[in-house]
Structure 1
Amino acid sequence: MKTKPWDEEIEIDGISYPADKLNRKADADLLTKVLLKRYKSSKEQSNKSSYVLNLNAEWGAGKTYFVRRWCEDLKQNHPVVYIDAWSNDFMDSPIITVLSEVQEQLLETIDKRKIKAPTQKRLKNIGYSVLPKILAALVKRYGGFDINELLESDSNSQEGDTKSKELDLSKAMEAMASQAFSEYSEYKKGVKTLKKTIKELMKYSIDNPKEKLLALKRDYPVFVFIDELDRCRPTYAVEMLEAIKHIFDIEGLVIIVSTHTEELQHTIKVLYGNEFNADDYLRRFFHAKYHLNVHLSKELIKANCDLKAIDPNDFTENSIILFPVVQNLEGQDVDTYQDTILEIVVHVADRMALSPRSAIQLTERFLICIEQLESSKSYDIVIICFLLAAHMFYHNSLYIGILDKIHNGLMGIGVQKNDDESLTKFLETKIVFDKSSYKEQLTQNTNLLKTLEQWHHNKHPHHQIINPDTDAALRGVHNAFGSVSSYFSLVLSLSTVDLHQVQLLRDVVGYKGRGDMDSQSGIKYFMMYYGLENTSFNEYFDLIELSNKFRVNSEVSG
């Protein structure tokens, strides 16, 4: 059995996983090497047990993607079990979840023709005889009687009644103690029997694989992946950890628990209180922790967001422009266009100091905005992204301040003495693109001049205007735009221009016809060429507020 390389798309259990764009294969190779060394070292120790790793990554890092693809690699040489804890937390006991998944997935890899019928039956019925004893003990551990409640005396009772209750309680405690010792003894026997049967199942999976698995030799350890534990209900998550430590502590097992560990700590505090040291508690269960790093990038966004709404050919059909990424009227490569849009979204997220998770949420809301765009209109995506980020993550400190400035006609003046510190910092933030990227965004097509004229005619069908200055405007577009405040002011100034009163756009931007335009003039020239003056800031605000009525899963999940 040969799995696909990481740079190719793969289907696992009916779900398609794209090619690796975040170089996760390097993490998988490193972890495999380290875990195999740790396993071999543990074999030399007297107290042989399982090895448990906490794979830690924040939301949006692609934990499940990484784990599923890593599992496929490991299957070349080792038995592997994958468990989605969150999809199973409706079960009463995580022991049943883990046991049933281990049994089912390992049995699936065994050539049953090489196993005698009695052994097959025993492996198939693994745990049936001992589970009731184990679960009975755990029910008392997590959901049984409260001894303090039994010891409470009724303040309204008479003294004679109290003495009588003390005698009754003494007998009850004696009986309970006897039962507890008996149950504990049965629990220990049950766990020992269960571990022995699981070890037998592991050995059969290694020694008697199906023919399709014979291409490479299978060996210990057996890898068990437990994914999405941080999303489970608190009692289930804690019981899962306890089960891993006490029930599945089996020689030859390597268990990888995939979590956003900070969220898991919050889950534990739900049970034990906010003052409880959840970090120390988790250290009891894990031998080591590996942090799956995530960096803000275009590839991260593509791995987490459905970009179908960004379709340049659909925009062309509906006469929509997302300035400054102007699509070719004769047909546009979708992937290239989407990449260019995402570069701007990532740039804005970086300028706004957003975390990778927040950048993904920003993109999801941006996509909702895209779905609401009106036909035959032009929109500035830099403005949309900055306003969205301000609304979502800095609503009181930034968004309200921007709203007030624009409505009061103060944005063009820039930073004021009485502006909030956060608003001042935002307005002074530099918008800086790569030196050539802005030109590339404006020239996504193969025939710029022809496309310019076509778009301009679409936006201004009754306006005959001659514009010989597009080359000078392009040469004038530099890599630095200045501050957010100046960019917003530039877009605001567009609405004051009446193109019907001019013959040349150079007159509007103050270009005298000699040399290159300056950066601001060049940008304004193209903004007007593509009809941005027809979209008011109130329309942008309405778009942002409308998108706020929609919430995607990424904005509400932990």
Structure 2
Amino acid sequence: MSINCKYPEWLTEYTFDNCKLNRKEYGEFLTNYIKGEHDGFVLNLNGAWGTGKTEFLRRLYTHLTNEGHPTIYIDAWESDFSEIPLSVVASELINQLSIINHNIGSDLDKLTGFLGKALKGTVIAGTGLVTKYLVDDSATGREIMKTLFEASAKDFLTSIKKDHEEQVEAIKSIRKELGLLAEVLKQTHGKELPVIVLIDELDRCRPNYAIEMLEVIKHFFTTKNFVFVVATDTTQLQESIKSVYGSNFDSNTYLKRFFNREARLAESDLEHYLKLQEIDLTPYSDRVVIYPKITNNTKDNIHQYIIWVAKAYELSLRDVDQLIDKLKACLRGALYAEQSSNKVQVVNIFSLLVGIVEFDLKSTSFDERKNGKPCIDNRLYKHNILLDSHDENVFSELYELNMYNSVQHNIEYPDTWGDAQKHLVYGTHSKAHGKDYSHCNGIIKKVALEIDSNFSNFNHKTGNVKIWLWPDYQKVIKLAGNLD
């Protein structure tokens, strides 16, 4: 059976069953929670930028729609150009309810009339558009404002006072009509209550517009059997409010005026997410060697390194998506280099991933790292991210090991006569960086042995093999860095 809604394609594209972030359980929990609110409820769904709020809201839309709840989705960012948030919420509410229930038209008439009264004269420039949209008479608003400004000062104030009183009454009537409409939706059209309105991308809007949108929700639409879920990066929204009211303004307390409760978006399951990402390694085969390996499955290796890098640099989901896209571009660059030179490209996957992140973060290490200078004093990442159950196996050790092995070193070895001999090496042996990993257990020792093994295997094949060093990483990363 087909379901009438504004976004029917979402019903198959965005479901909790195909959620890459494994948020089905949380989505169902939140659904059951908001379904139990019937007395005018506004929930702040708080999630930092890049945590997947939009994806989550669209899946919530599908879930609620399938359960029979009239569900409205509003992208606040799309309407940011408007000067009148009330017109945006009102028009979307009317339009989407009309789509959900094609025969509900007459039941919306009174509500539409009261909304038109509330909107009358709100903004001079937008009045014609608003009244055209809601009451199909663009001339009305313009004539009202023309009459007001042609009046005497006394008459002008009287008209303003009258309009204010009308708007206050209109707000009361809107709330009453919304409550009655909800009952009609249930009794006549067989819908479940409450009506759910999902507001997305509010934190991306202009500060004034975001504040006005919250005011509109609070004063006009918080009524019986209506629930609003407003997705925000609350920290960012607080900063927007401070930009309007001043840096010392208590934006946290201010926001609590508008929200009954706050729900934090559950932490993403990065491992589950990466398992569903497509990184096709088929074209590379033996033409691009990706090391160091920690398992026999190259794709699993890449996923594990991405997880470590994402945790260490505290990357958002959007950051991870960009990292994967740029990684793919870099590997294609390696494949092109193999085709051009007919030399197998040997690429350190950890160094490549870290290089992409360092370039995006404008780390000085990215540009300063060169032969004989591995730049291991990076402070942009969390040093103590554990790689396995052994305390010594932390991210900073993995970083140091691989960065040393991304540059060349001149090392002195004594010959059989005791004289020092200089050798140019690729930084693969413990002597190259003054550390012996033979006493270690777990990941670090495995990576060190894997690096040594790779370089031992390829050093005698220099004519047919190109072992990437830092200038190679820099070149391809800078090219991929143009992708956003």
- The TM-score with structure 2 as length reference comes to 0.71
CA distance in 2, matches of 1:480, 1:337: 20
Indicate how the Cα distance of structure 1 residues 29 and 16 shifts in structure 2: closer, same or farther if over 3 A, else same. Answer: closer
Give deviations 1:49-100, integer Å, cap 9, x for gaps: x111101111222112222222222231422222222223333422222222
Contact 1:56–1:289 at 8 Å: present in 2 too?
yes
Q: Tell me by how many angstroms 1:220 deviates.
A: 2.2
The equivalent of 1:232 in structure 2 is 205
Contact 1:509–1:525 at 8 Å: present in 2 too?
no
The question of 1:129 aligning with 2:102 is answered: no
Q: Secondary structure at the match of 2:347?
A: strand
CA distance in 2, matches of 1:480, 1:278: 37
Q: Tell me by how many angstroms 1:301 deviates.
A: 5.2
CA distance in 1, matches of 2:384, 2:399: 6
CA distance in 1, matches of 2:157, 2:382: 71
The question of 1:82 aligning with 2:100 is answered: no
The equivalent of 2:452 in structure 1 is 524
CA distance in 1, matches of 2:115, 2:37: 31
Counterpart residue type for residue 61 of structure 2:
C
Give deviations 1:145-197, integer Å, cap 9, x for gaps: xxxxxxxxxxxxxxxxxxxxxxxxxx966444322221112112323333343
The equivalent of 1:311 in structure 2 is 280
The equivalent of 1:250 in structure 2 is 223
CA distance in 2, matches of 1:487, 1:294: 29
The question of 1:12 aligning with 2:1 is answered: no
Q: Mean Cα displacement is larger for which, 537-546 or 190-199? A: 190-199
Q: Secondary structure at the match of 1:321?
A: strand
CA distance in 1, matches of 2:257, 2:109: 31
Instruction: State which of 32, 45, 65 in structure 1 corresponds to 2:55.
Output: 65
Contact 1:509–1:521 at 8 Å: present in 2 too?
no
CA distance in 1, matches of 2:367, 2:78: 41
The question of 1:537 aligning with 2:452 is answered: no
Paired residues for 1:163-242 under 5 Å: 174-209=154-189, 218-242=191-215
Give deviations 1:385-436, integer Å, cap 9, x for gaps: 122223333613x4345x2xx34x244xx87xxxxxx54x68995897559x
Counterpart residue type for residue 48 of structure 2:
E
The question of 1:94 aligning with 2:85 is answered: yes
Counterpart residue type for residue 104 of structure 1:
N
The question of 1:485 aligning with 2:454 is answered: no
The equivalent of 2:423 in structure 1 is none
The equivalent of 1:214 in structure 2 is none
Indicate how the Cα distance of structure 1 residues 295 and 88 shifts in structure 2: closer, same or farther if over 3 A, else same. Answer: same
CA distance in 1, matches of 2:255, 2:22: 29
The question of 1:548 aligning with 2:481 is answered: yes
Counterpart residue type for residue 59 of structure 2:
R
Q: Tell me by how many angstroms 1:262 deviates.
A: 1.7
The equivalent of 1:35 in structure 2 is 34
Paired residues for 1:384-463 under 5 Å: 384-393=352-361, 395-396=363-364, 398-401=365-368, 403=369, 406-407=370-371, 409-411=372-374, 422-423=377-378
CA distance in 2, matches of 1:191, 1:226: 20
The equivalent of 1:451 in structure 2 is none
Cα RMSD (Å):
4.2
The question of 1:345 aligning with 2:306 is answered: yes
The equivalent of 1:45 in structure 2 is none
Indicate how the Cα distance of structure 1 residues 364 and 549 shifts in structure 2: closer, same or farther if over 3 A, else same. Answer: same
CA distance in 2, matches of 1:294, 1:107: 36
CA distance in 1, matches of 2:51, 2:119: 36
Q: Secondary structure at the match of 2:48?
A: coil
Q: Tell me by how many angstroms 1:278 deviates.
A: 2.3
CA distance in 2, matches of 1:480, 1:352: 10
Indicate how the Cα distance of structure 1 residues 495 and 132 shifts in structure 2: closer, same or farther if over 3 A, else same. Answer: farther
Q: Secondary structure at the match of 1:373?
A: helix
Indicate how the Cα distance of structure 1 residues 96 and 527 shifts in structure 2: closer, same or farther if over 3 A, else same. Answer: farther
The equivalent of 2:440 in structure 1 is none
Give deviations 1:234-274, integer Å, cap 9, x for gaps: 33322211110111122111111111112222333343343
Q: Mean Cα displacement is larger for which, 29-38 or 222-231? A: 29-38
Indicate how the Cα distance of structure 1 residues 522 and 81 shifts in structure 2: closer, same or farther if over 3 A, else same. Answer: closer
The equivalent of 1:154 in structure 2 is none
Contact 1:56–1:258 at 8 Å: present in 2 too?
yes
Instruction: State which of 329, 335, 347 in structure 2 corresponds to 1:379.
Output: 347
Q: Mean Cα displacement is larger for which, 527-536 or 91-100? A: 527-536
CA distance in 1, matches of 2:284, 2:295: 8
Indicate how the Cα distance of structure 1 residues 232 and 368 shifts in structure 2: closer, same or farther if over 3 A, else same. Answer: farther
Indicate how the Cα distance of structure 1 residues 282 and 342 shifts in structure 2: closer, same or farther if over 3 A, else same. Answer: same
The equivalent of 2:240 in structure 1 is 267
Q: Tell me by how many angstroms 1:128 deviates.
A: 4.5
Q: Secondary structure at the match of 2:197?
A: strand
Counterpart residue type for residue 306 of structure 2:
V
Query: Rg larger in 1 or in 2?
Result: 1
Q: Tell me by how many angstroms 1:355 deviates.
A: 5.6
The equivalent of 1:23 in structure 2 is 22
Contact 1:492–1:537 at 8 Å: present in 2 too?
yes
Q: Tell me by how many angstroms 1:312 deviates.
A: 1.1
Instruction: State which of 360, 369, 374 in structure 1 corresponds to 2:330.
Output: 369
The equivalent of 2:133 in structure 1 is none
CA distance in 2, matches of 1:301, 1:260: 24
Q: Tell me by how many angstroms 1:277 deviates.
A: 2.7
Q: Tell me by how many angstroms 1:493 deviates.
A: 4.9
Q: Secondary structure at the match of 1:257?
A: strand
- % identical aligned pairs: 26
CA distance in 2, matches of 1:384, 1:286: 44
The question of 1:320 aligning with 2:288 is answered: yes
The question of 1:56 aligning with 2:29 is answered: no
Q: Tell me by how many angstroms 1:359 deviates.
A: 4.3
Indicate how the Cα distance of structure 1 residues 205 and 430 shifts in structure 2: closer, same or farther if over 3 A, else same. Answer: closer
Q: Tell me by how many angstroms 1:344 deviates.
A: 1.0
Aligned residues: 413
Contact 2:196–2:229 at 8 Å: present in 1 too?
yes
Q: Secondary structure at the match of 2:18?
A: coil
Q: Secondary structure at the match of 1:87?
A: coil
Contact 2:290–2:298 at 8 Å: present in 1 too?
no
The equivalent of 1:285 in structure 2 is 258
CA distance in 2, matches of 1:133, 1:384: 61
Q: Mean Cα displacement is larger for which, 373-382 or 30-39? A: 30-39
CA distance in 1, matches of 2:409, 2:195: 65
Give deviations 1:13-67, integer Å, cap 9, x for gaps: 684567124332222232233334443xx4xxxxxxx111101111222112222
CA distance in 1, matches of 2:79, 2:12: 18
Contact 1:383–1:488 at 8 Å: present in 2 too?
yes
Counterpart residue type for residue 12 of structure 1:
W
CA distance in 2, matches of 1:290, 1:480: 32
CA distance in 1, matches of 2:403, 2:43: 49
Indicate how the Cα distance of structure 1 residues 546 and 290 shifts in structure 2: closer, same or farther if over 3 A, else same. Answer: same
